[in-house]
Chains A and B, each alone.
Chain A
Amino acid sequence: MKKHIIAFVVACIALTGCEDFLTVVPETQLSSATFFKNQNDFEQAVNAAYVPLRTIINDRAWLLGEMHSDNTYYARNVLFGATDNQEDIADFSIPESNGTSANVHVLNQWRQDYLIISRANQILVLIDDVDFDAAAKANIKGQALFLRAYAYFELARYFGSVPLHLTPVATREEAALDLSSEAEVYAQIEQDLVAAVPLLPKKSAQQPGRVTEGAARTLLANVYINQKKWSEAQQILTPVVTSGEYMLMADYAMAFPGNASNKNNAESVFEVQFLEGAAGLNGNFIYQFMPRPISAAELQPIMGTSNPQNIDGEGNNIPTPDIIAAYEDGDLREDASIGYVFLSGSFRDDKTYPYIKKHAKQHSQHNNTGTNWVVYRYAEVLLFMAEILNEQNKPGEAAAYLNQVRERAGLDPTTASGQAEMREAIFMERRVELAFENKRWFDIQRTDRIEEIIRPYGQRIINNPLDYYYPPIEGAVPRSNAFTNLSKFYAYPAAESDLSPYF
């Protein structure tokens, strides 16, 4: 072997070192070996960490958070099959086996949240070792911490205990982790957000659309509220109210961004950004919210596009009679939130369906919208404050916040008195103020009112299917398994369970 060693030494000397010769990194693609070296790299990395929010919001947040409640339902179209995944969510009938489910939306929600987490982890584990402008670094770090916390908060609310990845996965063995308890996940979310708040700029100092200090405070308040940590919530949220950075838009309809205008407006605390066009940054959620089959002519007045097309299939996220009835008389928000459309192709007698008007903004190209989605807005901050104060037995102080929201809606101040009545008033106000903003299921879940609210709602559908958009056709009735699975959490995705030894 001595000969080999000599030969090797000669070979290497001749080539100025073997490792150099043998290290060939991809030239036309960046690799982790060449990336994460400067501020620009980390800025790009944090930008990419926001990206999964687009598909979460566009394709499934409304399924898992809104249609999985008494606010919206699907409009059954018997001509179309392959709708089980959506119907199971709305019908509280997701089939489970050994704590797992094959529901594709549950699976994708899980995967997209972990995509945010893994991208944030890459940033957080490396950023301190790279030297660049301290303010820029703090801003990026704060955004990454917020996004990781946001994703874990979604997972904690959808699934409870989940694997807690805090460093980038580097090997096949690290890819699966054991479940961490809900409490451990919440502790981590709080820790991340507490760290993020001082790192992030105020809204007025941040690029519009990025995470701000106010967004981090609001998210953290929501996290505290979910755990009934009222005083911590008050402490973290109060500066948002006093900052002067936010206000209610004068007109309720103006709280919701347009296709290209009114984005990140004064009421907006955190919103997911879309851009109309061919670059793949667009959304189309309003199309998914339309009852079907709808003709181009019926669609055009709502969308305002130059090239409307017929849409087949089954419409989702259709406002229920329950939410329509929940608006008080004179509530300006009802007309701003819900519109009606006539479908000539419908089997129903009146052929008329409600749709979510507050998210329908005029745009130019069919099935391609730039409308942003508001996750947190100032109205909810006010309602959070009302709830926080009421739960600390200060219903009087709570009423002041609640009435700000009611006043804009054209309603008189609340008549609720006492903590219990105020609690119900806030709960009802949240339902209508935040209708179709993917809050309803979480409100029902965190207040432990699933049985109380969903069970009778299910009975109403089963008993009166025609009221819930079933066509008057024989056999077109709620499925036999409807409202049989009213669990607090979604089952773990089966496709992930197959690959993990831990669940």
Chain B
Amino acid sequence: MKNNYLLFKKHFFLLLFIILTTNLSAWAQATNVTGTVKDETGEPVPGATVMIKGTQVGTVTDIDGAFNIQASPGAILVISFIGYTPSEVAVQSGKTSYDVTITTSMSDLSEVVVVGYGSQIKKEVTGAIQTVGGDELTDMPVTTTAQKLQGKLAGVQINQTTGKPGQGMNVRIRGQLSVSGGSDPLYVVDGFPITGDINTLNPDEIQEITILKDAASTSLYGSRAANGVVLITTKRGKTGQTNVNFNVYTGFQKVPENGRLEMLTAEEFAQFKKEYYTDAGQPVPAIFQNPSDFRGKNNDWYDAMLETAPITNYNLTITSNKEKVNTAIVAGVFDQKGVVRNTDYERYSIRMNTDYAISDKVSVGVNVAPSYIVDNTPQTDGSRGTGILFNALHTWPVMDIYDENGDLTFFNRFPAETGNIFAYPNWLRSADEITNQTKRVNILANTYAEWKPIKGLSLKSTFNTEIRNSNYFFFNPSTATNRINVAIPTVAVSIRDNFRDFSWLNENIATYTGNVGDHNYEILAGFSNQQFRSDRTRIQADTYADDRLPTIQGAININRGGTFSDVDEWSLTSIFSRLTYNYKGKYLFTASVRGDGSSRFGADNRWGVFPSTSVGWVLSDEGFLNTSSSISFMKLRASYGITGNNNIGNYTQYALVNNTINGVFGNTVVPGAAVTSLSNTNLGWETTAQFDIGLDLGLWDDRVTFGYDFYTKNTTNLLYAVQVPQESGFTNFNDNIGEIKFWGHEFTINTVNTTGAFRWTTNANLSINRNEVLELADGIDRVYGFAHITQVGQPFGQFYGLNKLGNYANAEDLANSPKIPGRSTVGSIKLEDVNGDGVITFGGDNDDRTIIGNPFPDFVYGFTNNFSWKNWDASIVASGSQGNQLYMRHLYSTANLDGVFNMVAKVKDRFRSPENPGEGIFGTTVGGGNVTGIERDWPNSNFVWDASYFTIRNITVGYTLKKLPKSVKSARLYASGQNMWVFTKYWGGSNPEVSMQNNGQGDGGNLSPGVDLAGYPVPRTITFGVNLNF
């Protein structure tokens, strides 16, 4: 975390230089004192502060750690540097040169951390925040920033819901969720709340990430803060230095064998079919009579879709902070092939950050960060209808991938008497031939001007823009399809979907910092305006004469329904203010308020006010604790505040007119239009009121630091489309309804286990998040998801269905148990008769459904160990989740006991007879769909499985070369492995992390979390890198 101070330092030292230069003349009678500041390893420390104690006079060390200051004999020089313990030296008469050594501080409490609209000394922070420095993130070979944060943050659950390169990261701070609104946190890059995806940001541009969790730290972001805020600070130069860093890594990705869903082989499949017909008393089709015929002739379609894929990253960083100019240039090229055929992701990015001091009082800065991203994933994820990976998974293994010439087959279909209902295209061809490509150009730019007219006062104005252009191109040639049972040739389809998004923000902030004796305060006030516009054009065309020319004009038909243009806009005007006060740095108080006026809010409810307050007490600064030697730091914090979630749609408040309700008179078509939705002029944000109490503790000179937070928050005014009687002419009314209560505990512990030559530190965290639905709309106590229920008095989004008790063991069991009339047989699934009426019923008045599982974990945890010994360094990052369950949705195909698809290997142990009942998971195949349909078509607890996991996220080992040519400052060689091992009992697929809402796989949606549809697997990545500093 030593880089945390960098942004602060820039401003601070700039200021210091100015003050010092203007004051030097007053000390003309003093003598010139010089010296060098070094750390314990003897390396010079540039940028360290050298102050004359009790004055405002001081300087900073240059790149060689040297300083030069006018000081009188007897004066005390205080040498300090963030991350180090301050050192004091007395100026002696006649001695003009001093070498000072400063030692690394165990504590980072004196560090400055970025908070909303400013920065704060960590010790004085009263909110619940957590920071991660860029140096903790550099070596990890991943595509997105969020992947780098997995396991490092308490209270933040980050799940990778798909292995698609660059996609699928699901970040939830303190378990926040919503019935129909968005729950992603707000991402703020260099003070600019971006409207796009942080995944487009090159992670190497990041210097520091701060997560704001409680209301006190987020409420300055008002109506966008309820989901938490992620502040991202990009790189800046170090004072007095020019650094050139070149980092390259390359390696490969592979889906581990261990953890894949185990399916039947060709021989096992043939054996299943043979048994299926035998058990049913039917003749066995010829090809299945000797399953051993298929020995060694297995077609593992899923495995055939996968390949070992290279990943390479080049990154050049140049920073310079000299005289009046501070610049940082980060250029990156990232090239990742996916582990599924024909998937890839490339990113080319440049960032240039420049700060320029025009005069003592005026400075300006510009950041410009263009990037270009191309990714292609040919419809890998989806359900049985659309996802080629899922389709490959359940394709019969007796069907040939390659023909006798070694070429890919086109099409596989067996005779009807084999039970082959569906024809299957060759999925490898689908992957190779279907284009599903997005090209994005992003330009993020920040500019500012800052004026400091008098001491303590800063007036700063910023203007920020974000431009995003994305061009999506989809082409399904006539030779391929992503669907089962579609004849080849297909109708070729092309889709072009282009977005041009533009957002700007102007912010004007005044900050005054001052003190009256020991009373220190900072007052901040500002106003801002932000606007967003997205222009979309979508063209869908089909029926191509020639697959080689998928142009629009090459199509015979334009699909009217899929061709349209659209505009999305919003605007936001805000005023905000904050007072930060402390007495002797010991009693801390902060209050803030933001008013947001949003175009999304109804005309009668346009402004939301979001206040917060927090207090802190540094007990360790009190006399009664100072005497204790073991407690080096202790702070109690508490905060309360109100924040909003404005992800309610841009036009939800309006009564929209549909102008495609056409009429006809005679044989003439006439245009028709009608109001199709109700306006709600009171529509507003979702409101979250949050209370947080926390303890920060440092023991044994901060060798062990401990953090604890308890939070409780109530989200009310949830956006929901409440059904209304249709005598109104409308179906629903978008309203703010209901209440969900969230609460949780967060623990962090950081320890320095060993010091000296072998240094070992550990950071660990654990979080417990809970929620309960307290209220929905009037007269509504439950809403349903896919196989889910959100019900008053229960946690959100619980799995809901019939409860499986087993299979009917024998005729007696069947006779004496409640059953499904006409469908239950010996060996079929035995379900619980919840309402006790003697009959098993799905839905309707006599419903036997009940809550059958919980997609949310009991707790999540993570830890990081860092080691260093001589030239070696190593780190291990791990994270886990305990008690969460998944709905193994793909079983509706992969355990279809009629043998229509290939099946999970576990069906071998199904119920065959009362004497041979199997392991109890899958029932009898006898009776066909009338019997087997129950267990696959009625959501039941057989689909719900524990998905607790523990994952070794990353292991990195590095070696720093010492003997180098003069032009090279340092060189480090390293090896890094990502997603090394996943330990889980979950058997439904290789990724137990799909366990969150919005999995984007068809059956998702806010109300239906934790559904597994066998999507893109998450690979293991092994890379080797070199990091050179010049």
Contact = CB atoms under 8 A, between A and B. Distances in A.
A22 B724 contact: no
A208 B728 contact: no
Contacts of A165: 727-729
Interface in A12-33: 12, 14-15, 18-19, 21-33
Interface in B509-552: 525-529, 531
A169 B527 contact: no
Nearest to A20: B571
A134 to B, nearest CB: 21
A3 B598 CA distance: 21
A280 B660 CA distance: 11
Contacts of B668: 207
Nearest to A370: B667
B675 A7 contact: no
A370 B667 CA distance: 9
A27 B729 contact: no
B663 A273 contact: yes
Interface string B670-687: 111111001110000000
Contact of A279 (B528, B597, B598, B662): B662
A325 interface: no
Contact of A209 (B597, B606, B656, B665): B665
A208 B669 CA distance: 12
A23 B598 CA distance: 8
A451 to B, nearest CB: 31
A48 B525 CA distance: 52
Contacts, number: 211
B594 to A, nearest CB: 10
Interface in B608-664: 650-651, 654-659, 661-664
B669 A275 contact: yes
Contacts of A45: 672-674
Interface stretch (B223-231, B407-415, B561-569): B561-569
Given A4-B577, A11-B575, A275 B674 contact: no
Given A175-B730, A208-B665, A279-B669, A11 B527 contact: yes
A24 B531 CA distance: 10
A149 interface: no
B905 to A, nearest CB: 37
A500 B727 contact: yes
A25 B600 CA distance: 9
A263 interface: yes
B599 interface: yes
B503 to A, nearest CB: 13
B661 A28 contact: no
B674 A264 contact: no
B656 A31 contact: yes
Nearest to B650: A24
A171 B577 CA distance: 36
A262 to B, nearest CB: 11
B575 A496 contact: no
Interface residues of A, number: 73
A19 B607 CA distance: 11
Contacts of A117: 729
Nearest to B569: A24
Given A11-B527, A169-B730, A26 B656 contact: yes
B654 A31 contact: yes
A168 B675 contact: yes
A273 B667 CA distance: 8
Interface residues of B, number: 61
A118 B731 CA distance: 12
Contacts of A172: 678, 680, 722, 724, 733, 735
B575 A175 contact: no
Interface string B794-834: 00000000000000000000000000000000000000000
B728 A114 contact: yes
A31 B655 contact: yes
Contacts of B672: 44-45, 47-48, 50-51
A44 B666 CA distance: 16
B669 A281 contact: yes
B599 A24 contact: yes
Given A175-B727, A273-B666, A33 B654 contact: yes
Interface in B579-604: 593, 595, 597-599, 603
B664 A27 contact: no
A122 interface: yes
A21 B725 contact: no
Nearest to B528: A11
A48 to B, nearest CB: 3
Contacts of B566: 28
A170 B598 CA distance: 22
B654 A25 contact: yes
Looking at B575, B657, B679, the one whose CB has the most chain A CB atoms below 10 A away is B657
A168 B779 CA distance: 24
B726 interface: yes
B723 interface: yes
A176 B675 contact: no
A111 interface: yes
B471 to A, nearest CB: 20
A14 B461 CA distance: 13
Contacts of B735: 172
B806 to A, nearest CB: 31
A101 to B, nearest CB: 14
A8 B595 contact: yes
Given A208-B665, A264-B666, A30 B679 contact: no
B950 interface: no
Contact of B666 (A163, A168, A263): A263
Nearest to A264: B666
A41 interface: yes
B570 interface: yes
Contacts of A132: none
A272 to B, nearest CB: 10
B663 A118 contact: no
A32 B733 contact: no
A499 B598 CA distance: 32
Given A29-B651, A177-B727, A22 B571 contact: yes
B663 A48 contact: yes
Nearest to A30: B657
A156 interface: no
Nearest to A260: B667
A175 B733 contact: yes
A285 interface: no
B675 A35 contact: yes
A32 B663 contact: no
Nearest to A121: B729
A134 B923 CA distance: 74
Interface in A181-215: 207-210
A118 B729 contact: yes
B573 interface: yes
A107 B675 CA distance: 21
Contacts of B531: 21
A290 interface: no
A7 B727 contact: no
Looking at A28, A48, A121, A122, the one whose CB has the most chain B CB atoms below 10 A away is A48
Contacts of B663: 47-48, 50-51, 273, 281
Given A15-B529, A47-B662, A175 B724 contact: yes
The 8 closest A-B pairs by CB, nearest first: A118-B729, A209-B665, A48-B672, A47-B672, A47-B663, A24-B599, A30-B657, A169-B728
17 contacts: A11-B528, A11-B573, A21-B531, A21-B571, A23-B599, A44-B671, A114-B726, A117-B729, A118-B730, A171-B733, A172-B724, A172-B733, A175-B730, A263-B666, A263-B667, A275-B664, A281-B662
Interface of B: 525-529, 531, 564-567, 569-571, 573, 575, 577, 593, 595, 597-599, 603, 606, 650-651, 654-659, 661-675, 678-680, 722-730, 733, 735, 779
Interface of A: 3-4, 7-8, 10-12, 14-15, 18-19, 21-35, 41, 43-45, 47-51, 110-111, 114-115, 117-119, 121-122, 162-163, 165, 168-172, 174-177, 207-210, 260, 263-264, 273-275, 279-281, 370, 496, 499-500
